[in-house]
Homo-oligomer: A and B are copies of this chain.
Amino acid sequence: MHFGALAALLFSFQDLPTTGTAPINSSDAIWLWIALGVGVLALAAALILAKAVLSADAGTAEMRVISDAIREGAEAFLARQYKTIGLLALVLAVVVFAGYHLSPRTAPYALKTVISFLVGAVCSGLAGFTGMYVSIRANIRTASAARSSLNKALQTALRGGAVTGLVVIALSLIGVGVLFLCFGGLTDPQGVPYQLVGFGFGASLVALFAQLGGGIYTKAADVGADLVGKVEAGIPEDDPRNPAVIADLVGDNVGDCAGRGADIFESTAAENVGAMILGVALFPVFGIKGILFPLIVHAINLIASIIGVAVVKTNDTEDPMSALNRGFYVTSALALGGFAFAVHAMLNGDGVAWGWLLSCGVVGMITAFLFVWITQYYTESKYRPVQSIAEASLTGPATNIISGLAVGMETPALPVIVISAALLLSYYFGVRGLAGVHIAGIADYAKGIYGTAIATMGMLSSAAYILAMDTFGPITDNAGGIIEMSNQPDEVRNKTDKLDSAGNTTKALTKGYAVGSASLAAFLLFSAYLEEIKSIVTARVNDAHAAGIPAFMPAGWSFTNINLAEIPVFVGALLGAMLTYLFSSLAIKAVGRTAQMVVKDVRDQFRENPGIMEGTSKPDYARCVSIVTGAALKEMVLPGVLAVGLPVAVGLIFRHLSSSYGSGSEGLTGVPSHLVPTINGVAVNLSGASAVAGLLMVGTISGVLLAMLMNNGGGAWDNAKKFIETGAHGGKKSDAHKAAVVGDTVGDPFKDTAGPSLHVLIKLLATITLVLAPLFL
């Protein structure tokens, strides 16, 4: 029944009054074609990179045995995971399709919505699959290259990673661009962006389950293997006698690689769609160019990143991190230049000072740098936080944990200040940049908000390179494991250790980057949600008016009563914040339960086959892989369903509850009825939409802070242990080291399961509320 309402979204926008008078300049369509062209080009570049990586030497037979086992495990997991996610997505698609057909008004748009949703889901899955296809083959080639030169190994790993980076950004760009084209965006540029929200929702859905499933898998295998291997059996990490060792290596791929890829795919998809919706508000100023601008930024992102990856080379003595940083600087410089060109060419017009708008983009880029720097400060061993944890390890595990949690709780402070400053500055620059624009209906607020949107695009303008560096992490980690397990000489091991250490750094930085972009993009997505509610209400009032029903819209009304002193908003906010805690708790417990199954299987294998520990027979790696796969997929369902279900439940409950409370909108909200749109004398019921807004916004704030606590706390514990392993405070085997291992283990599900899953949750909340907004009204 209610799904009929879902369709009102697409329907209502068809009837939207045009907010300005600027005609569509058909020559502007060229920007769409340029963006799509660059997207295709980037896919071609990814193909070339992939071929280059795959044609490299695939190592010795001994190495291949291990690599094949990892590959098979990862592919088996992905196949089963995609089957589960696919089924879920299909069910949702059918329900939406059927719901749209319940009302003749909405039926014509059913196909569009479902297509948009499915395209988003498929693109996200495809990006994840392709990236992992290459990275689980790049690992052995990196290992093999390390036998000859560090540079070759570095380049193999980075190029393998770049395939993920390019495919993710290119597919997001092409997906949004093609849908925009097919839905008639060139003729109705102000209506079509709203129809693309399904794409973001599809991407979010896949990302949530990919990150949850992958995150549970990777840490359950890691913790399980450590508990039973290092602690019980006393064998080193990555020892081939440990039946869970392959599962552990598989985990790096399905968690860090496929998971983070889906995360960034979702970020760019949501940001693309959100920024296009905000571009609609400024249509009278920029025309279609303001709407296509986000796509061009990602085209620049792709070109800059391809060149950035191409210039990375090193020698055998340099720290690989320096080489990776050089590539990042090249990418950033090119992205800045391209950004300046695009702003100048596209965001121009009467009264527009494009320099100010470029400054918004620069604010975003600086924000990205600062987030990366802050993450380094909190997670690298040369700074106070990690040092303090290492020192606290001297008095045992309890003080190590207390100190790590204190560091984790401190970490949100600087990022919050940076985000606050970035929002204020980019808002101010946006207002200044458009101060000369005097068009009715375009307030300073819209100008400022567009400034923050440009900042978000600036922040994401080197995403492809960042993602390449991130995927570099699991590839080098795997390469190190293969070298270790195939008994290569120490000299080779040293090289992969250097790469692995750089990979750990890049993985940590990407998490900082991901949470930073999520929090900046959040504001953009809030604004898009409010714009959408306003549009739907306006359309309904206009419809009623056209049908001869008395309807009233207060002058200058916009949906801004997300007032936390109203019961629906406050309760929504409480529930949103609570969701982030409960979700994290479920994710962490899922890791614990799955890890227990690993421990049990390894113990069983040691008991059933005593030859394993003696080295006379091989453990059954596949059995362990299969057990983790099944358990992780089962465990991801509950937190995932909670994340999808709670916002929907809140919206529906408050929509219906409101009518029990006193007179109309005043009952629960306290807003006098002459300030509220009415249809046929009855105030439009905004309680559901308000409650969901409260849930979305406060859930996001709480989620961002919790994610920072977990990501950085976990990273700091990890590096405190590594710092002690370099010889500090007694070095390996000391009591301090034992204490630090406890902290490291606690941090694992924090930083690799719950934290990254929270990034995705935040964006899912935004896209799900965008898609289901009509349901709540």
Interface positions of A (Cβ within 8 A of B): 223, 227, 231, 392, 395-399, 401-403, 405-410, 412-413, 416-417, 419-420, 423-424, 427-428, 431, 435, 443-449, 523, 526-527, 530, 555-556, 558, 560-567, 570-571, 573-575, 577-578, 581-582, 584-586, 588-589, 591-592, 599, 657, 660-663, 666-672, 674-675, 693-694, 697-698, 701-702, 705, 709, 741-742, 745-746, 749
Contact B574 A420 (CB under 8 A): yes
5 additional A-B pairs beyond A413-B581, A431-B662, A530-B565, beta carbons within 8 Å, are A419-B574, A444-B666, A560-B566, A561-B561, A577-B702
Contact A413 B443 (CB under 8 A): no
Of the candidates A402, A570, A571, the one having the most CB atoms from chain B within 10 angstroms of its own CB is A402
Contact B413 A571 (CB under 8 A): no
In the complex, chain B residues whose CB is within 8 Å of the CB of A582: 409-410, 412-413
Of the candidates A399, A409, A575, A592, the one having the most CB atoms from chain B within 10 angstroms of its own CB is A409
In the complex, chain B residues whose CB is within 8 Å of the CB of A660: 428
A560 to B563 CA separation, bound complex (whole angstroms): 6
Contact B577 A402 (CB under 8 A): no
A657 to B420 CA separation, bound complex (whole angstroms): 13
Contact A661 B397 (CB under 8 A): no
In the complex, chain B residues whose CB is within 8 Å of the CB of A570: 423, 523, 526, 697
* Among B402, B530, B670, B702, contact of A592 (Cβ-Cβ < 8 Å): B402
Contact A561 B564 (CB under 8 A): no
Contact A581 B666 (CB under 8 A): no
Contact A674 B448 (CB under 8 A): no
How many copies of the chain does the oligomer comprise?
Answer: 2
If A227-B395, A742-B396 touch, does A564 touch B666 (CB 8 Å cutoff)? no
Contact B564 A409 (CB under 8 A): no
Contact B565 A527 (CB under 8 A): yes
Nearest CB of chain B from residue A65's CB, rounded to whole Å: 31
Contact B443 A670 (CB under 8 A): yes
Chain B residue at minimum C-beta to C-beta distance from A671: B560
Contact B416 A573 (CB under 8 A): no
- 9 A-B pairs with least C-beta separation: A445-B670, A444-B662, A556-B672, A398-B745, A409-B585, A410-B585, A416-B578, A564-B697, A406-B588
In the complex, chain B residues whose CB is within 8 Å of the CB of A396: 227, 231, 742
A223 to B582 CA separation, bound complex (whole angstroms): 30
In the complex, 29 of the A-B residue pairs with CB atoms within 8 angstroms, ordered by the A residue number, are A227-B396, A392-B592, A397-B397, A398-B745, A401-B742, A402-B745, A403-B589, A406-B592, A408-B585, A409-B582, A410-B581, A412-B581, A413-B581, A413-B582, A423-B567, A424-B567, A435-B662, A444-B666, A445-B668, A448-B667, A449-B670, A526-B570, A555-B674, A556-B675, A560-B563, A560-B671, A563-B563, A573-B701, A702-B705
Contact A661 B555 (CB under 8 A): no
Nearest CB of chain B from residue A113's CB, rounded to whole Å: 25
Contact A406 B670 (CB under 8 A): no
Nearest CB of chain B from residue A384's CB, rounded to whole Å: 11
Contact B592 A443 (CB under 8 A): no
Contact A674 B444 (CB under 8 A): no
Chain B residue at minimum C-beta to C-beta distance from A741: B398
A709 to B710 CA separation, bound complex (whole angstroms): 14
A223 to B403 CA separation, bound complex (whole angstroms): 13
A101 to B664 CA separation, bound complex (whole angstroms): 47
In the complex, chain B residues whose CB is within 8 Å of the CB of A674: 555-556
Chain B residue at minimum C-beta to C-beta distance from A408: B585
In the complex, chain B residues whose CB is within 8 Å of the CB of A663: 444
In the complex, chain B residues whose CB is within 8 Å of the CB of A560: 561, 563, 565-566, 669-671
Nearest CB of chain B from residue A385's CB, rounded to whole Å: 11
Nearest CB of chain B from residue A615's CB, rounded to whole Å: 26
* Among B402, B562, B578, B701, contact of A563 (Cβ-Cβ < 8 Å): B562
Chain B residue at minimum C-beta to C-beta distance from A555: B674
* Among B399, B408, B561, B584, contact of A409 (Cβ-Cβ < 8 Å): B584
In the complex, chain B residues whose CB is within 8 Å of the CB of A584: 409
A745 to B567 CA separation, bound complex (whole angstroms): 39
Contact A578 B705 (CB under 8 A): yes
A223 to B399 CA separation, bound complex (whole angstroms): 9
Of the candidates A431, A565, A702, A709, the one having the most CB atoms from chain B within 10 angstroms of its own CB is A565
A227 to B402 CA separation, bound complex (whole angstroms): 13
A555 to B555 CA separation, bound complex (whole angstroms): 14
* Among B448, B555, B578, B749, contact of A567 (Cβ-Cβ < 8 Å): B448
Nearest CB of chain B from residue A415's CB, rounded to whole Å: 9
Contact A709 B581 (CB under 8 A): yes
Contact A406 B589 (CB under 8 A): yes
Nearest CB of chain B from residue A203's CB, rounded to whole Å: 23
In the complex, chain B residues whose CB is within 8 Å of the CB of A395: 227, 599
In the complex, chain B residues whose CB is within 8 Å of the CB of A585: 406-410
Contact B443 A672 (CB under 8 A): yes
Chain B residue at minimum C-beta to C-beta distance from A590: B406
In the complex, chain B residues whose CB is within 8 Å of the CB of A571: 420, 423-424
In the complex, chain B residues whose CB is within 8 Å of the CB of A749: 402
Nearest CB of chain B from residue A646's CB, rounded to whole Å: 11
A530 to B564 CA separation, bound complex (whole angstroms): 10
Nearest CB of chain B from residue A84's CB, rounded to whole Å: 24
In the complex, chain B residues whose CB is within 8 Å of the CB of A705: 577-578, 581, 702
If A409-B584, A567-B448, A585-B407 touch, does A661 touch B431 (CB 8 Å cutoff)? yes
In the complex, chain B residues whose CB is within 8 Å of the CB of A448: 567, 661-662, 667-668
Chain B residue at minimum C-beta to C-beta distance from A654: B424
A197 to B560 CA separation, bound complex (whole angstroms): 30
In the complex, chain B residues whose CB is within 8 Å of the CB of A443: 666, 670, 672
In the complex, chain B residues whose CB is within 8 Å of the CB of A398: 223, 397, 741-742, 745-746
Nearest CB of chain B from residue A578's CB, rounded to whole Å: 4
Nearest CB of chain B from residue A397's CB, rounded to whole Å: 5
Chain B residue at minimum C-beta to C-beta distance from A556: B672
A213 to B674 CA separation, bound complex (whole angstroms): 51
